[in-house]
Structure formats: structure tokens, C-alpha cells
Structure 1
Amino acid sequence: MRVTLLGTGDTTGTPTVGCDCGTCREARRRGVERTRFSVHVENERTGETLLIDASPDFRQQFLREEASLPDAAVITHVHFDHLDGLGNVFRVLDSLDVYAANETDPATGESVAETVASDYHYLDQITVHPVTPLESVRICGFDVTLLPVDHPPMVCYGLVVSDPETGSKLSLTGDTSYAIPEPSREALAGADLLLADAIVPASVCAGHPAGGRHENSAGTPRTFGTKHMTREGALELADELGATRTRLVHLAHYYPAEDAFEEPLAVDGEVYEL
């Protein structure tokens, strides 16, 4: 399993358009980016490729990494920074199987699968396959399981990608607070590589209108506002899950410049062989 981090940023990416903060300046100086979130997973046994979330930066990411085009995609939720790259299928792919959860979202009245199908009804290349969370489905030779997480007010899913022949395992928390349900935590555990949402350091919670949530015994917030984990929360989760290796993703430019590119914060283009 070959995992390429196509996009490691949050909804605005780093550098952010029109921003001259220290972190955006440092990203430009280093020549690195954190574009909107997306992960490329290649099955080297079968020659197939799975795309996890379709970033609006799809074109830039695939050209930059010289990545093979996907045979299938999984969409974790319907926020634009994870979905809108599907429009790039037009004139690029003859077909794309897209997998998404079949549970109805009270906030939208539709499942993620239904929203994808309605939003891209005009693209004949896309075939949407509704899947049941917590049940494994075979995609591109991998066993893929969508896992409910906590990203209010909309439903969102993490996922596990496992190779049934080699036993290698990739876990992604998805966009989530620290309050991941226990069945999902159990499924995420023991990964060779964990990609964990860590949008900001805990110190930034003081500036959020909702503050922080899910404080640990030292009073450190493990959730920023209500939707995303802090760096500290993500690292505590990684310890609990027993991940062999952890990379922090979905990162905002609100990290102070002196911390923004320290381990284990990921940048675009990282590649892992599992």
C-alpha cells in the first residue's frame, strides 16, 4: 500500500489566499503547501488507486505529484473542501466509482451518498455506491470501512483501509472532534499509519468563540470549538489507538510560524509505504 498525502490543509489551505501571517510567509519561504485535504492510496498488487476525498485542488495535486488517476473514491462528508474536486472527473476520467455512507444526515435530510449523487447528477462518469458505516466493503483490492465520527452539525466519517493480503492498515480520523464513538475508535486502532485531524494547537482555543472542549486532566482542550481536534487531542488519540506512525493533517495556518512545520505535522507530498 502506497499512501501519498495530496492535501494536508484545512478549508483555506496554507498559504492562505491574501494572507501574510508568519506561517503563510514561512510556507512560501520553504516552498511547501498544505492544500485542501485528499489522500491517494495505491494498491501496488492490483495497480488500482483509491482516492480519499476529492479536494478542490484535485488538478494541482495530481499534476504536482504525478499521481495516477483514481479508479475509485471515498467521500467522508459533504463539506466543499472534501467533495468539490469530483467536478474534475469531467473529460479526465471515463468512469469513477464513488463510495459514501448511506445514513441520512438530519442536518441535510440526505445521506452523503445521496448528496454526492444529486450534486453531480450531470456527470455520467460518476457512479455512486451507498455503503453502510462499520461494514467493510472491498474497493480497489482493499477492505474499506467508514466509521462515524463527531463533526457537528453534519455527519462525517473516518475510515480504515486494510490490505487483506499484506495486513497493512491505514486509519484516518476524518474531520472530527475528540469525541469519536467507541466502536469507531476500536476500528481505527492498531494502524501502521494514522492520519489525524489536528487543525490547531490547543493554545489557539482561547480565541475561538466556542473555546475548547474535551479537556484532559491537565485542562488542555482536545477539541477546538466543536468540530476538530487540537494537536494535543490528536496526539493523545494516537497514543490511545496505538498507531505505529502518526501524521497530523487538516492543518490551519493558525499554527504559530515557529511550530507550523514541526513533527509530526504533515505537508503535501509525503509518501508512505505500508
Structure 2
Amino acid sequence: MEVTLLGTGDTTGTPTVGCDCDTCSAARSRDVERSRFSVHVENERTGESLLVDCSPDFRHQFLRDDVDLPDAAVISHIHFDHLDGLGNAYRLLDSLPVYAADETDPATGESVADTVSSKFDYLDRVTVHPESPFETFETCGFEVTLVPVDHPPLVCYGLTVRDPETGATLAVSGDTSYAVPDDSRAELADADLLLVDGIVPARLCEYHPHGGTHEDDDGTPRTFGTKHMTFEGARALAAELAPETYRLVHVSHFPTPEEAFAEDVAVDGEQFTL
């Protein structure tokens, strides 16, 4: 299993358009970036590739990292930075099976699969496959399992991707607060690689309208506002889930350069062989 981190940033990416903050400037000087979230998973046994979330930066990511176009995709939730790249299936792909959760979201009245179907109904190359959380399905020679996480007000899902031949496992937390349900934590545990949502250091919670939540014993917030983990929360969850390796993803440009480019904070183009 060859994992390429195509996009490791939040909804604006780093460098952020029109921003000359220290972190955006450092990213430019280092020639690194964090585009909107997406992960490419290649099955070297079958020659197939699975795309986890379809970033609006799809074209740039695939040209930059020179990976194969996907044979299938999984969508974690319906925010544009994880979904809108699906439009790139037009003229590029003969077909693209897209897997997404089948649970109805009270906030929208439809499931993630329903939203993908309705939003991209003009693309006959895209076929949507509704899947139930915790019920493993097969695609690209992998076993994939969706798990609910906590990303209010919308439903959102993490997932695991396993190679049944080798046992290699990628776990993705999805966009989430620290309040990941226990049964989801159990599914995400003990992976070879964990990609865990961490948007800013906890010290920046004072600037969020909702502050910080899910504090640890020392009073450090593990959730920034309500939707994403702090760096401290992401690292705490990684310590609990005990992967072989982990990286913080969905990172914003608000941390300092020292914080933003720490060893465990992902940048685009990183590759892992599991």
C-alpha cells in the first residue's frame, strides 16, 4: 500500500491566497504547501488506486505528485474542500465508483451518499455506492470501513483502509472534534499510519467564538471550537490509538512556522509505504 498525502491543509490551504503571514511566507520560502484535503492510496498488488476525499485542488495535486488517476473514491462528508473535486471526473475518467455513508443527516435530511448523487447527477461517469458505517466494503482490492466522528453540524466519517493480503492499514480520523465515539476509536486503533485532524495549537482557542472544549486534566483544550481538534488533541488521540506512525492533517496557516512545520505535521506530497 502506497499512501500519498495529496492535500494536508484546511479549507483555505497554506499558503493562503492573499496572505503574507509568517507561516504562509515560510511555506513559500520552503517551497511546500498544504492544499485542501485528499489522500491517494495505491494498491501495488492490483494496480488500482483509491482516493480518500476529492479536493477542489484535484488537478494541481495530480499534476504535482504524478500519481495515477483514481479507480474509486470515498467521501467523508459534504464540505466543499472534501467534495468539490469530484467534478474533475468529467473527461478525465471513464468511470468512478464513489463510496459514501448512507445515514440520513438530520441537518440536511439526506445522507452523504444522497448529497453526492444529487450534486453530481450531471456526471454519468460517477456512480454512488451508499455504505453503512462499521460495515466493511471492498474496493480497489482494499477493505474499507467508515466510522462516525464528530463534526457538527454535519455528519462526518473517518475510515480505515486495509490490505487483506498484507494487513497494512491506513486510518483517517476525518474532520472531527476530540469527541470521537469509542467504537470508532476501536476501529481506528493500531493502524500502520494514522492521519489525524489537527487544525491549530490549543493556545489559539481564545480567538475562536466558542473557545476550546474537551479539556485534558491540565485544562488544555483538545478541541478548537466545536469541529476540529487542536494539535494537542490530535496528538493525544494519536497516543491513545497507538499507530505505527501518524501525521497531523487539515492544518491551518494560523500556527507559527515552528509549530506548523514540526516533524509530525504533514505537508503535501509526503509518501508512506505500508
**What TM-score, normalized by structure 1, do the two folds share?**
0.99
Alpha-carbon shift at residue 157 of structure 1 (Å): 0.1
Which AA in structure 1 matches 2:234?
A: A
Q: What SS is found at the alignment partner of 1:237?
A: helix
Distance 2:196 2:21 in 1: 24
The amino acid of 1:215's aligned partner reads: E
- For 1:256 and 1:186, how far apart are their aligned partners in 2? 33
Distance 1:209 1:256 in 2: 21
Deviation at 1:152, TM superposition (A): 0.1
Give the percent of matched residue pairs that are identical in Structure 1 and Structure 2. 69
1:58-69 → structure 2 map (5 Å cutoff): 58-69=58-69
1:242 Cα shift? 1.0
Counterparts of 2:162 and 2:47, CA distance in 1: 16
| Structure 1 position 252 matched with structure 2 position 252 | yes
1:222 aligns with 2:222: yes
Match of 1:187? 187
Q: What SS does structure 1 have at the residue aligned with 2:83?
A: helix
- The amino acid of 2:270's aligned partner reads E
C-alpha separation in 2, matches of 1:241 and 1:123: 38
* Structure 1: distance between partners of 2:30 and 2:96: 35
Partner-residue secondary structure (3-state), 2:259: coil
Deviations, residues 4-56 of structure 1 (Å, cap 9, x unaligned): 00000000000000111110000000000000000000000000000000000
Distance in structure 1 (CA, Å) of the matches to 2:101 and 2:93: 23
CA distance in 2, matches of 1:145, 1:159: 5
Spell out the pairing of 1:160-199 with structure 2 (5 A cutoff).
160-199=160-199
- TM (norm. structure 2) is 0.99
Q: Return the letter of the residue paired with 2:207.
A: G
Partner of 2:70: 70
**CA shift at 1:258, angstroms?**
2.4
Give the match's secondary structure for 1:55.
coil
Q: How does 1:1-274 map to 2 (within 5 A)?
A: 1-274=1-274
- Counterparts of 2:126 and 2:216 in 1: how far apart (Å)? 44
Report the 3-state secondary structure (helix = DSSP H, G, I; strand = E; otherwise coil) of the residue aligned with 2:94. coil
AA partner of residue 178 (structure 1): Y
| Amino acid across the alignment from 1:49 | S
CA distance in structure 1 between the partners assigned to 2:131 and 2:169 by the alignment: 20
Gaps in structure 2 of 5+ consecutive residues = none
Q: CA deviation at 1:109?
A: 0.5
Give the secondary-structure state (helix, strand or coil) at the position aligned to 1:104: coil
Partner amino acid, structure 2, of 1:90: Y
Which residue identity does 1:77 align to in structure 2? H
Q: Quick one: distance in 1 between partners of 2:139 and 2:215?
A: 37
- CA distance in structure 1 between the partners assigned to 2:64 and 2:129 by the alignment: 29
What secondary structure, in the 3-state scheme, does the structure 2 residue paired with 1:247 have?
strand
Task: Report the alpha carbon displacement of residue 256 of structure 1 after superposing the two structures with TM.
Answer: 1.1
2-structure distance, mates of 1:209, 1:261: 26
Letter in 1 for 2:44: E
- Matched to 2:109, the amino acid is G
Q: State the distance in 2 between where 1:258 and 1:111 align.
A: 40
SS in 2 for 1:214: strand
Secondary structure class of the residue paired with 2:221 = coil
Could you say what secondary structure the match of 2:35 adopts?
A: coil
| Secondary structure of the corresponding residue to residue 258 of structure 2 | coil
**Offset of residue 257 of structure 1:** 2.0
Number of residue pairs matched?
A: 274
Which amino acid in structure 2 is aligned with residue 264 of structure 1?
A: D
In the alignment, the residues of structure 1 paired with residue 192 and residue 34 of structure 2 have an alpha-carbon distance, to the nearest angstrom, of 23
Output the CA distance in 2 between the equivalents of 1:186 and 1:58: 31
Deviation at 1:214, TM superposition (A): 0.2
SS at match of 1:100: strand
